[in-house]
Amino acid sequence: MDKSNPVRLMFSLLCLITALNLKPNSRAAVPVPPHAKKIPHRTQLHGKERVDDYHWLRGATNKAVISHLKLENDYTGAMMRHTDKLQTTLYKEMVARIKETDSSVPFRMDGWLYYSRTVQGLQYPIYCRKQAKPHAKEIVTLDLNKLGKGKPYIALGASDVSDDGHLLAYALDFTGFRQYTLFIKDLRTDKVLADRIEKVGSVTWAADNRTLFYTVEDEAKRQYKLYRHEIGATTDKLLYEEKDELFDIHVSRTRSQEFLLCSSTSKTTSEVRYLRANDPTGQWQLFAARQVDHEYHVDHHGNSFYIRSNKSGRNFALLSAPVATPSQNHWKVVIPHRPAVMMADMDFFKNHYVIMERENGLPHLRVTEIATDRSRRVVVPEPVYDLAPENNAEFDTTSFRYSYESLSTPDSTFDYDLNSHRSTLLKQQEVLGKFKSSDYTTERLQATASDGVKIPISIVYRKGIKRDGTAPLVLDGYGAYGIPNDVSFSSSRVSLLDRGVIFAITHIRGGGEIGKPWHDAGRMLNKKNSFTDFISSAEHLIAQRFTSRDKLVITGGSAGGLLMGAVLNARPDLCHAAVLHVPFVDLINTMLDESLPLTVTEFEEWGNPKVQSQFDYLITYCPYTNLRKTDYPAMLVKTSLHDSQVMYWEPAKYIAKLRTLKTDSRPLLFKINMDAGHGGSSGRYDYLKETAFDHAFILTQTGIVK
């Protein structure tokens, strides 16, 4: 373009405007969303024909599929371009709040102190150790920044150090598909050995410092075989194969270091085998044969095994059995089943044991002195919080490490003195800038479900927010697998709170907040309780004037994405906008395909559509199946190409079908991370950019930012 000639300059600008389909002094034309072609795929089930027009999107190696996904990304980018400046502002805010160069609190194991640290500008943690003595030299055990150099993704899976501290077994995923390769490193020489094992899940060392036990996955990503590996060996001994496709296996070692455990677990049943750690070539023994609906877990202390079992009640009891004769007829009750208290986990030490309990929707830690049987709970300072055990590798110890946080209190690491019963704060996550926990209010509310059940809601907002229905509110939900959707602190979320957004989590049935019965009430043929609980929670927040429908944003990920899809179909008028992360929305088709990861193992969570009665229930709420012609809220749907838990094509098909049905003009945006898996980007800075994108969508949709 000749800038020296005004006439030629004007002509060139007019040509450019024409090429871009613009009018002088007008904004750019609204981007046109991509529309996927329809190729009917017909199947028969229970005497009925089912037609899926977008089945073809399953082919990630198909150039047409990749082209379509890129068009979706381009469209979303164009629709969100007006937020570019806002995204940059949000990202800079988030980075400014974190201490970029930082270190975790070291934990002690076998005379070493282990910790991780981060360095400003680097995406990944650096794992280190030093001897537990003054002025010890730092040794880098793993630097993910170096290991992931030139790769768009890297994640550390299982890792374990041999008893003598010489060998580190670790597993890495380079795609996000959660398919891990096992490596072994000699920490004395910093050299990686030639040993390589693919598709590894869990790993643990025997006591001889050269024998490693590990599990591997099948084509459906089910951990199903247990092997024994000796350093340098080219072939490994198969020890156990789990042939029931409802079950996964996991190998571990008791904290006492005396026993190896191989646990087979389904969603409702478990079975444990054990072997002395100093006898790696010995014969594994069955602890207790599996029985339908009996879940049990084993730990060891002295001459006894301890068993957390739900045989006598859904919320588990604690029992003991002699190591010499651990059969069920020798089990003795230590803590009986309590209907109102869920025994979620157990940790045994030389003189004490710690039980993770859940009561009234909140977690508690109960510490018991073994010799006297005296116990007490760890005291917490807030009504809405989360706490959980941290790294407690040592068996002979007088302290127990745990983490504590709330919606307004950053993640905090404590040591609890098992003798004096006092907690000492070791470190609290630093939030740089002007952040003060006291500027925010957290509350626990209760909504009443359609059947009268009380649903807990955790909420946080900046002090000074008016309860007049004008504040935007983000409501998060999950409600599946018996997993508690506990509260957590997020320094990134502060960017929303400080702009007047309220954040809430509803603890709906299907999760594990109130024990096993709470899970049972929201799975299988009770699943729709999860959806009505969420709707009741949203309506309660609106009725209490925390927000209004035109200021409400709902969000959920994975199984929480299924929740979003079902709620949006049932009540598309409930909210103004929705954000769905890696959503499990194509329920029927996925649960019919037993070659996919997780399908068979989740028959006990969702149901098997090949069973007529279960199909009849699933078909009533499957999000993809039940999309219909109506107005839907503004929606941002996100996925990753290498997701192994919810395949990318589920949201891709969902979006394609919804584009043909929705009768409104609100944004329907689909964003695909082409280099990640279920959890999104692996690098911490990349992840913050993704979060800034989400926040920009929320802030613009709720009118806080135009």
The encoded tokens of residue 44 equal 């028969």
Q: How far apart are CA 184 and CA 417, in angstroms?
A: 35
Tell me if 441 sits within 8 A of 463, measured CB to CB.
yes
Which residue in the list 195, 248, 643, 694 is annotated as catalytic?
Answer: 643
Burial grade of 525 (CB within 10 A; 0-12, 13-18, 19 or more): exposed
* Cα separation, 368 vs 122, whole angstroms: 42
CA angle 682, 683, 689 (to 5 degrees): 105
Q: Kindly give, in sequence order, each residue whose CB lies less than 8 Å from that of residue 285, ignoring residues fewer than 6 positions away.
A: 273, 274, 275
678 is annotated as an active-site residue = yes
Q: Is 666 helix (H, G, I), strand (E, B) or coil?
A: coil
State the catalytic residue, choosing from 266, 558, 644, 682.
Answer: 558
Which residue in this structure is represented by tokens 């202390």?
301
Cα–Cα distance between 78 and 278 in angstroms, integer? 62
Catalytic residue among 301, 678, 682, 695: 678
Question: Of the candidates 670, 671, 651, 659, which has an alpha carbon nearest to the alpha carbon of residue 632?
Answer: 659
Q: Does residue 643 have an active-site annotation?
A: yes
Question: Which residues, at least 6 apart from 189, have a Cβ–Cβ distance to it below 8 Å?
Answer: none
SS3 361: coil
Q: Is 266 exposed, middle or buried (0-12, 13-18, 19+ CB in 10 A)?
A: buried
Q: DSSP letter for 104, please.
A: P
| Strand residue runs (E) in 163-295 | 167-173, 181-186, 191-198, 200-205, 211-217, 223-230, 237-241, 248-253, 259-265, 270-276, 285-288
Rounded Cα distance, 219 and 199, in Å = 10
CA dist 484 and 508 (Å) reads: 9
Rounded CA-CA distance 294/268 in Å is 7
- 108 forms beta bridges with 113
Give the closest residue to 619 by CA, choosing from 569, 684, 579, 694.
569
Catalytic annotation, residues: 558, 643, 678
